[in-house]
Structure 1
Amino acid sequence: MATVDNLLKRNVPISNSESRCALCQMQLEDANHIFLSCIMSAGIWNELLRWLGKQSALHSNAIVHSSAFTNIGNKKDGQFLAGVWMCTVWCIWKGRNEVRFNHGKWAQDKMVAEIKSRLWSWKQAYNLRIPTEDFRAWFAAANLEESGAERN
């Protein structure tokens, strides 16, 4: 992954202004920071937890974070939550690249909406059973425990 910390390890010249996180401009850019602990991406994780009706203290290490996130629901929700985690990381990476390379703007509400929309479109590929077939109701709140939906 071409984060600044990896480029620096390979002796790629990076200016001081380019070495900071493209999203918050506060810390050296590394994968754990971009995806998990940056204030911009942490806001997305918190919004997704609210949407899912869950609470959790998520770690700043990707492996621990992924495990904690996929285990916030009951056992049958694990596959769905893993899909949410993967989709979120992918969307954050795309958003970071847009900011870094195309001078794009970071908008948390648009990012969360993109994650929800992509999850809906990925449901067939991941064989995810969404709690309702009504996209608008699901988009508003996933409500995993209340749905009683079974997931493979």
Structure 2
Amino acid sequence: MNGDKRKPPEKECYIPTQDISCVLCQEKTEDSNHLFFSCQKATEVWYDLLSWIGKSAALHSSASNHLMGFSNIGHKKDILFLTGLWICTVWCIWKKRNDIRFKQGKWSRDGVTAEIKSHVWSWLQVFSKYGSSADFSFRDWFNVVPLAN
């Protein structure tokens, strides 16, 4: 660029670095551990999902500890389901974060939780023994507790 200070070309993505606060809560500095695991808004989604599957747990604020703790709250046979639910939750929080940051989207706890349940339903239809359409209707899936106590 020969040292000139031109504006980035229109096709490149220019992200200003001044605002580093969490997109969801706007209270803390955004980093991955905060965004996914300790932001109040994300934490509410995690606890909604725990309630949905009939479990309770103290959740960690670092990714590796959170995954280990979350995937081990059920029986050994539930690890695949719980790991998939964890991955889907992180992915949906990330997608919503980007929607808010780049498309002026709005946070909806219920909307994110419903999106997670919907994706997990779809994934299980393809990849797992946990939920087949014979076991639960799509409507029942949103209210059912999929794990045994």
- State the TM-score, normalizing by the size of structure 1: 0.82
Q: C-alpha separation between the residues in 2 aligned to 1:49 and 1:20?
A: 27
Q: C-alpha separation between the residues in 2 aligned to 1:110 and 1:128?
A: 26
Give 1:30's aligned residue.
Answer: 31
User: 3-state SS of the aligned residue for 1:104?
Assistant: coil
Letter in 1 for 2:143: A
Give 2:120's aligned residue.
Answer: 119
Letter in 2 for 1:106: W
- Where structure 1 has 5 or more consecutive residues not aligned to the other structure, the ranges are 1-11, 147-152
CA contact (8 A) 1:80 1:128 kept: no
Q: C-alpha separation between the residues in 2 aligned to 1:74 and 1:62?
A: 21
Structure whose CA Rg is larger: 2
Change (3 A) 1:70 1:83: same
| Alpha-carbon distance, 1:128 to partner | 4.2
Change (3 A) 1:24 1:135: same
Deviation digits for residues 99-141 of structure 1 (CA, Å, limit 9, x no counterpart): 1111110000010000000001111443242283322222112
Q: C-alpha separation between the residues in 1 aligned to 2:40 and 2:102?
A: 20
| Alpha-carbon distance, 1:13 to partner | 6.1
| Alpha-carbon distance, 1:143 to partner | 3.7
- Where structure 2 has 5 or more consecutive residues not aligned to the other structure, the ranges are 1-14
Letter in 2 for 1:115: I
Deviation digits for residues 67-99 of structure 1 (CA, Å, limit 9, x no counterpart): 100001101111000000000000000000011
Give 2:12's aligned residue.
Answer: none
CA contact (8 A) 1:83 1:126 kept: no
Q: Does 1:76 align with 2:77?
A: yes
Aligned length: 133
| Backbone CA RMSD of aligned residues | 1.6
Q: Does 1:89 align with 2:83?
A: no
- State the TM-score, normalizing by the size of structure 2: 0.84
Give 1:140's aligned residue.
Answer: 143
Q: C-alpha separation between the residues in 2 aligned to 1:13 and 1:104?
A: 18
Deviation digits for residues 16-45 of structure 1 (CA, Å, limit 9, x no counterpart): xx1100110011110000001000100000
Stretches of 4+ aligned residues off by more than 3 angstroms: none
